[in-house]
Amino acid sequence: MKLGTLEQPIFAQKLARAGIAVRFGPLQIRLRTAIKPLAGLLHHFWRDFPLVDEPAIIDCHLAVSQHSLHRRWPNPELHILVDGRAIGPPFPRAHHFPMLEWGVNFCLARRANHLLILHAAVIERHGLALLLPAIPGHGKSTLCAALIHSGWRLLSDEFGLVRPEDGLLLPVPRSLPLKNASIDVIRAFAPQADLGPSFEGTHKGTVAHVRPPSESVQRMDEPARPRWVVFPRWVANSRLRLEPVVKPDAFLMVATNAFNYNLLGQTAFELVGQMVDACECYTLVYSDLKEAMAALNELTDSARA
């Protein structure tokens, strides 16, 4: 049953009392919170995700709650609890949604050490996946948001989850946080994108979220084989350059991009090696989203044959 089939007041009530168990790809969480405006946003942003039939094994028990008494007034603060313990410092109440989304990602990054976790956006076309490894400020999320509203399927904006058994990428299609100028760029570029409210003054500036497209969420149990690795970089006024990367360089760039490369040791070494061997690897420098998309579409059209 999808979360959105619960009526909003019932959802908010359950969330405040017993909590709601929901699944994002491989990650099952249970969340409890009585913060009303947060419940409203979650009901919308998480509406396509399935509720978990309980009793079940939950990967992460989360709560968003008021900070201790002396922090409630005059500027109320919240914190995120995982298994009853606060993660990170308290934050202003107004930042509930972006901080919770970060908290869920934190759980995945900390607890999915049975998988190789790359810090990358992953999208799919013609049944094959393209990885956009992240370097903060290089425009991965913006490019990803543009592509998933132009015929690509979203696997993830944040995590390339590689399954060691077969090297396939597992989807975890969570909402995309756009930062600062990117928000208006995407609003203009893809008016059909479902953009949430802007949260100002977070530690990453102003953030607004794109709801993952329903079709991507419906297909979140279909893994994809990696075929392309493209290291994107937005540079103002630059002309478009899509250039191949030699495999040894690509290996290092992917390995150093992983959250848990050291932790997985030999397994990670082999997985990254296989992935880079099997993929075409490029760097992409761009200033114009349309040009960048055209180049990626052309690059990946060859796979249709």
Partner 1 sequence: MPDRFCQKRHAARLLIGALRQPADLPHLSPADWDLLLRLARHTQLLGRLEADLAQLALLDRIPERAGNHLRAARNLVAHRQTRLTWEADRVVWALRGLDLHIVALKGVAYMLAGLPAARGRLAVDVDLLVPQEQIAAVEQRLLERGWMGAQLDPYDDQYYREWMHEIPALRHRERETEVDIHHRILPRTSRLQPDPALLFQQTRAVPDSPIRVLGPQDMILHALVHLFHEGDPKEGLRLRDLVDVADLLRHFGQEPGFWETLVPRAEQLQLGRPLHYGLVFSRQLLGTEIPDAVLQQAQSSAPSWLVQRAMGWLVPRAILPTHPDQSDPIAALARWALYLRAHWLRMPPGLLFQHLARKAWRRVQAALQPQGSGSSDKPSGS
Q: Using CB under 8 A as the criterion, which residues of the chain lie in contact with partner 1 when the complex forms?
A: 26, 28, 54-59, 61, 83-84, 111-114, 260, 262-265, 267
Q: How far apart are CA 210 and CA 58, in angstroms?
A: 26
Which helix or strand (DSSP H or E) is residue 33 part of? strand 27-33
Instruction: Give 19 or 139: the residue with its C-beta nearer to partner 1.
Output: 19
Torsion sign (Cα): 101, 204, 83, 71: negative
**CB nearer partner 1, residue 168 or residue 240:** 168
Closest CB to partner 1 among residues 82, 254:
82
Instruction: For residue 159, give the 3-state DSSP assignment.
Output: strand
267: its two tokens = 């397994």
User: Read out DSSP for 89-143?
Assistant: EEEEGGGHHHHHHHHHHHHHHHH-TTSEEEEEEEEEETTEEEEEE--TTS-HHHH
Lookup: tokens for 159: 């995590």
d(CA 246, CA 281) in angstroms, rounded, equals 7
CB of 263 to partner 1, least distance (A): 4
Given the complex with partner 1, which of 147 and 170 has the nearer CB atom?
A: 170
The nearer residue to partner 1, 237 or 266, going by C-beta atoms, is 266
Phi/psi at 143 (5° precision): -60, -40
State how far the Cα of 109 lies from the Cα of 159, in Å rounded to an integer. 8
Q: Which is nearer to partner 1, 58 or 100 (CB)?
A: 58
Residue 207 CB, nearest approach to partner 1 (Å): 29
| In the complex, least distance from residue 31 CB atom to partner 1, rounded to whole angstroms | 13
26 or 98: CB nearest partner 1: 26
H-helix or E-strand containing 176?
strand 176-179
d(CA 253, CA 244): 13
Helix (H, G, I), strand (E, B) or coil at 294: helix
What is the nearest approach in angstroms of partner 1 to the Cβ of residue 89? 17
Distance in angstroms (rounded) separating the CA atoms of residues 268 and 115: 9
Shortest distance in whole angstroms from residue 20 CB to partner 1? 15
Q: Per-residue b/e over 224-233, b at no fewer than 16 CB within 10 Å?
A: bebbbbbbbb
